[in-house]
């Protein structure tokens, strides 16, 4: 039986309160935070929203952020919530150095990007905010404000992001990587996604009414919440009293549509069923369901059908709290998890504000806050675009845990190093795609910026499908389908993507429209495709794969985070197969902006584009290219920790480094490699494949092909750094600005 995942600290900021006490008071008083816009500068004042009742400047002052220092509203709300959680859990800096930090967000620093986008392009007045745009920068701003976490990751699966952050953190603990995981999400309201949701025609002009027959859409909200997850052994050793228990969780893909839920709620039904199975519970054990309940006609009907399938005639009390907070999108999973904990602790039912009219064939939500029986186990749902559906089971802590024979719990705890094989790996990049011609005849570049060499996509898409997809989506799907076909995998157990920027071309289209033409007549397609998890969803929809689905958007470590997720779940025996992708595009505009930040534009460096798909399997196969035998990520490791990692890895025949092409003796990457693995030949791949946020995926791909073909292109040798005498065991090393270290060891078969 797995060790229980305890919750030892919570922090919450939303429209109904700046901490847990204010939040509880609003819930008990049935007081909504949804009202007229106050802080967002937009033309659309006809839409009520759930804004946090502080200006950005007021938040910065509270957190001690000096005037003139770049700050975003999403990061500031996250800092406020995280500060509360750390304080309640009594975490010191030494504890955080042993803890993982996993946050979910989709808009990142968009609130400042949409203000300064034209300045980014035309002058240098606000260049500091360019590097604050992406989701990973937001997460690192929150984390770095408090101390050196052991690892830092960013999930971006739209409205299920924070719930998936909780799942990832719990898997990290169950796998024994860390004893503490601080998890949650943060999201502010921006013109970008207000107009995006408006283009989908799913915003209500009145306060939203989830599960009501007259419901007309959602109210956007904003906020942040973080929870401290901890092993029982760690909590006991630190002497902290748990607030609750994360008993179980599930994630599934609806695999139906990029924005709409299926009529029967297949994905949400699977997620809830998996969460109950993981917790060792039956539907009859659930005492309350905090529904996703957005107030849109589609979601509430679909979720109702899924709950009816699961619970039948014995429906527990159900309500949506989005009529209190507004739909806080990426932060909703953790905000509503905290609300569930408050309901458990205070033994009350959050009512479904605004409900008056029964939906035909729909559920009847809670209007009476008094439970008919004690609340012991509650289910919390979070569903995102692309059918990314997640469910959590929360409970109050007990003095004694039942014996394994008394409680049947899915075995999700790593006991040994499970072998992981790379059964296929494909790429479309600045080298010729979907083949290994680059090994013998690589294309050499001296240009600072090159677009991908696209293949003929006709064999994968009809003309009508092709017209609806941006190029990055075509590349991602083509590499994914080819890798699946070569590995003989029809439906992967998991589809996990890393992308630093997502479909940035679509983001630019909508930003340009907002900045140059205003907020009228925004088109839905750029908004839908700008959402980071569009890529993973599209693969699952195209292949009808209902398994685990996740997207990581953590700058240059995005692919690394995705690979780590797959590795952890394989070590826990949750999944057998996983399709792990790394996809990013580089538009001319964004290339120019990243040159301003100093990320690109260096002599000898080429910026490229990446679409790489890697199939992993825990079963050996004749088709396998190589074996992945070791994987670890560290955020800001000490020299002692790096030495420990090197000792765990042992001798390797070469180190594949992610140097940017600007190779010189004092490069931090080369220093690290030479120090940890002295007298070991050092290799490179970005001189062939270019620099991009998910280039590390190309490094893993290239290393797998080198080991499989037992052939090393001369261009991959770093002058003066030796040449391997054998191609048997290669470490693929990543490091970004002396942090975000990744170590992956591949072995020849």
* Closest alpha carbon to 240 in 22, 91, 446, 393: 91
What confidence score (pLDDT) does residue 311 get? Answer: 97
Give yes or no for residue 1 having a pLDDT over 70.
no
Residue holding tokens 């670890």? Answer: 632
- In angstroms, rounded to a whole number, what is the distance separating the alpha carbons of residues 107 and 330? 8
Query: How many residues in the chain?
Result: 749
Give yes or no for residue 404 having a pLDDT over 50.
no
Tell me which of 135, 159, 208, 503 is the catalytic residue. 159
* Share of residues in the chain with pLDDT > 70 (%): 96
Instruction: Answer yes or no: are the C-beta atoms of 733 and 677 closer than 8 Å.
Output: no
User: Which two structure tokens, joined as six digits, stand for 366?
Assistant: 């809670």
Tell me which of 327, 377, 546, 708 is the catalytic residue. 327
> Can you give 406-437 as a three-state secondary structure string?
CCCCCCCCCCCCCCEEEEEEEEECCCCCCCCH
- Rounded CA Rg of the chain: 24
Active site residue 327: yes
* Closest alpha carbon to 326 in 341, 340, 336, 337: 336
Give yes or no for residue 398 having a pLDDT over 90.
no
- In angstroms, rounded to a whole number, what is the distance separating the alpha carbons of residues 107 and 74? 8
* 300-325 average pLDDT score: 96
* 722-731 average pLDDT score: 96
* Segment of 14-23, 142-151, 393-402 carrying the highest mean pLDDT: 14-23
Q: Give residue 260's pLDDT band: very low, low, confident or very high (50, 70, 90).
A: confident
Cβ contacts of 366 within 8 Å, gap of 6 or more: 288, 317, 318, 319, 349, 350, 351, 352
Torsion angle defined by CA atoms of residues 217, 219, 223 and 226, in that order, rounded to the nearest 10 degrees = -30
Per the rule left: phi > 0, alpha: psi between -120 and 50, beta: everything else, 17 is left
Tell me which of 133, 193, 292, 546 is the catalytic residue. 292
* Share of residues in the chain with pLDDT > 90 (%): 88
Active site residue 626: no
Rounded to 5 degrees, φ, ψ at 462 are -75, 160
What crossing angle do the helices spanning 668-676 and 639-649 adopt, rounded to 10°? 60
Q: Give residue 402's pLDDT band: very low, low, confident or very high (50, 70, 90).
A: very low
Give yes or no for residue 236 having a pLDDT over 80.
yes
What confidence score (pLDDT) does residue 663 get? Answer: 61
Instruction: Answer yes or no: are the C-beta atoms of 110 and 514 closer than 8 Å.
Output: no
Sequence-ordered alpha helix ranges (H) in 598-660: 639-649
* Closest alpha carbon to 612 in 473, 490, 476: 476
**pLDDT by residue (tens digit) across 170-203?**
999 999 999 999 999 999 999 999 999 999 999 9
Strand partners, 496: 550, 580
Which sign, positive or negative, has the C-alpha torsion 52, 53, 56, 61?
A: negative
* Closest alpha carbon to 631 in 560, 729, 549, 706: 560
Give yes or no for residue 408 having a pLDDT over 80.
no
Residue holding tokens 């186990």? Answer: 377
**pLDDT by residue (tens digit) across 679-709?**
999 999 999 999 999 999 999 999 999 999 9
Instruction: Answer yes or no: are the C-beta atoms of 531 and 110 closer than 8 Å.
Output: no
Give yes or no for residue 401 having a pLDDT over 50.
no
Rounded to 5 degrees, φ, ψ at 233 are -65, -40
For the chain, the first-to-last Cα distance in angstroms comes to 34
**pLDDT by residue (tens digit) across 506-519?**
999 999 999 999 99
What confidence score (pLDDT) does residue 667 get? Answer: 83
Lowest mean pLDDT among 377-381, 412-416, 492-496, 672-676: 412-416
Strand partners, 584: 610
User: Which two structure tokens, joined as six digits, stand for 364?
Assistant: 């009847």
What confidence score (pLDDT) does residue 263 get? Answer: 86
- In angstroms, rounded to a whole number, what is the distance separating the alpha carbons of residues 466 and 75? 37
Instruction: Answer yes or no: are the C-beta atoms of 399 and 309 closer than 8 Å.
Output: no
**pLDDT by residue (tens digit) across 320-371?**
999 999 999 999 999 999 999 999 999 999 999 999 999 998 899 999 999 9
User: Which two structure tokens, joined as six digits, stand for 668?
Assistant: 């931090």
**pLDDT by residue (tens digit) across 94-126?**
899 999 999 999 999 999 999 999 999 999 999
Active site residue 178: no
- Specify the pTM: 0.96
**pLDDT by residue (tens digit) across 624-675?**
999 999 999 999 999 999 999 999 999 999 999 999 866 665 588 899 999 9
Domains parsed from the chain with CATH numbers:
5-395 (3.40.47.10), 420-747 (3.40.47.10)
Give yes or no for residue 549 having a pLDDT over 60.
yes
What confidence score (pLDDT) does residue 93 get? Answer: 87
What confidence score (pLDDT) does residue 27 get? Answer: 98
Give yes or no for residue 152 having a pLDDT over 80.
yes
Instruction: Answer yes or no: are the C-beta atoms of 81 and 184 closer than 8 Å.
Output: yes
What confidence score (pLDDT) does residue 399 get? Answer: 64
Pairing state between β 548-552 and 244-253:
unpaired
What's the mean per-residue pLDDT of the chain? 94
Instruction: Answer yes or no: are the C-beta atoms of 328 and 221 closer than 8 Å.
Output: yes
* 376-403 average pLDDT score: 86
- In angstroms, rounded to a whole number, what is the distance separating the alpha carbons of residues 48 and 32? 11
What confidence score (pLDDT) does residue 259 get? Answer: 79
* Closest alpha carbon to 579 in 610, 548, 541: 548
Per the rule left: phi > 0, alpha: psi between -120 and 50, beta: everything else, 347 is left
147 exposure class (CB count in 10 Å sphere: 0-12, 13-18, 19+): middle
């Amino acid at each position: 039986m797995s060790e229980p995942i305890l919750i030892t600290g919570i922090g919450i900021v939303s429209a109904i309160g700046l901490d847990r006490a204010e939040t509880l008071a609003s819930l008990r008083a049935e007081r909504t935070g949804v009202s007229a816009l106050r802080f967002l500068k937009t033309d659309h004042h006809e839409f009520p929203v759930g804004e946090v009742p502080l200006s950005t400047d007021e938040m910065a002052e509270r957190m001690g952020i000096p005037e003139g220092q770049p700050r975003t509203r999403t990061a500031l709300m996250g800092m406020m919530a995280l500060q509360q959680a750390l304080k309640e859990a009594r975490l010191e800096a030494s504890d955080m150095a042993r803890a993982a930090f996993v946050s979910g967000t989709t808009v990142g620093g968009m609130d400042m990007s949409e203000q300064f986008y034209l300045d980014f392009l035309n002058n240098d007045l606000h260049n500091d905010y360019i590097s604050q745009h992406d989701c990973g920068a937001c997460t690192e701003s929150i984390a770095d404000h408090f101390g050196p976490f052991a690892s830092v990751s960013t999930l971006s699966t739209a409205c299920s992001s924070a719930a998936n952050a909780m799942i990832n953190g719990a898997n990290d603990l169950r796998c024994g990587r860390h004893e503490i995981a601080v998890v949650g999400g943060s999201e502010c309201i921006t013109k970008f996604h207000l107009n995006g949701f408006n283009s989908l025609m799913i915003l209500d002009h009145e306060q939203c009414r989830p599960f009501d027959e007259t419901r007309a859409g959602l109210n956007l909200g904003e906020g942040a919440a973080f929870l401290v997850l901890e092993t029982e052994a760690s909590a006991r050793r630190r002497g902290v009293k748990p607030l609750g228990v994360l008993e179980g969780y599930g994630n599934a893909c609806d695999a139906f549509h990029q924005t709409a839920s299926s009529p029967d709620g297949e994905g949400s039904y699977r997620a809830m069923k998996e969460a109950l199975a993981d917790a060792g519970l039956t539907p009859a054990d659930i005492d309350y369901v905090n529904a996703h309940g957005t107030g849109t006609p589609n979601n509430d009907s679909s979720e109702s059908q899924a709950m009816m399938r699961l619970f039948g005639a014995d429906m527990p009390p159900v309500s949506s709290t989005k009529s209190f907070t507004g739909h806080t999108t990426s932060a909703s999973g953790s905000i509503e998890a905290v609300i569930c904990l408050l309901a458990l602790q205070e033994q009350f039912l959050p009512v479904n504000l605004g409900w008056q009219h029964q939906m035909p064939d729909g559920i009847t939500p809670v209007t009476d806050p008094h439970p008919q029986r004690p609340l012991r186990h509650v289910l919390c749902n979070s569903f995102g675009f692309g059918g990314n559906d997640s469910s959590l089971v929360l409970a109050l802590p007990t003095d004694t845990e039942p014996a394994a024979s008394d409680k049947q719990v899915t075995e999700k705890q790593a006991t040994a190093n499970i072998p992981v094989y790379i059964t296929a790996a494909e790429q479309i990049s600045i080298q010729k795609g979907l083949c290994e011609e680059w090994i013998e005849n690589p294309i050499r570049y001296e240009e600072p910026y090159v677009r991908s060499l696209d293949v003929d996509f006709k064999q994968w898409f009809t003309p009508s499908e092709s017209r609806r997809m941006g190029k990055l989506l075509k590349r991602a799907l083509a590499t994914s389908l080819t890798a699946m076909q070569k590995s003989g995998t029809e439906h992967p157990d998991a589809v996990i993507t890393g992308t630093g920027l997502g479909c940035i071309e679509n983001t630019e289209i909508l930003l340009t429209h907002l900045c140059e033409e205003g907020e009228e007549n925004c088109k839905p397609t750029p908004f839908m495709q700008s959402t980071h998890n569009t890529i993973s969803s599209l693969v699952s929809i195209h292949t009808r794969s209902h398994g685990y689905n996740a997207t990581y958007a953590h700058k240059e470590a995005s692919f690394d985070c995705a690979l780590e997720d797959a590795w952890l779940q394989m070590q826990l025996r949750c999944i057998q197969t996983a399709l792990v992708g790394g996809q990013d595009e580089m538009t001319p505009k964004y290339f120019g902006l990243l040159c301003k930040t100093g990320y690109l534009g260096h002599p000898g460096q080429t910026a490229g584009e990446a679409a790489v798909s890697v199939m992993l399997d825990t079963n050996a196969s004749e088709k396998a290219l190589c074996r992945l035998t070791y994987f670890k990520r560290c955020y800001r490791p000490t020299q002692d920790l790096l030495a420990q990692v090197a000792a765990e890895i042992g001798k390797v025949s070469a180190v594949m480094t992610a140097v940017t092409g600007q190779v010189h003796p004092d490069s931090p990457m080369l220093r690290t490699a030479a120090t940890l693995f002295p007298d070991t030949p050092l290799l490179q791949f970005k001189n062939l494949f270019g620099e991009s946020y998910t280039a590390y995926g190309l490094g893993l791909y290239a290393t797998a092909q080198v080991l499989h073909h037992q052939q090393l292109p001369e261009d991959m040798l770093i002058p003066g750094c030796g040449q391997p005498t054998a191609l048997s065991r290669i470490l693929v090393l990543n490091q970004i600005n002396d942090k975000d270290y990744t170590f992956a060891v591949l072995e020849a078969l």
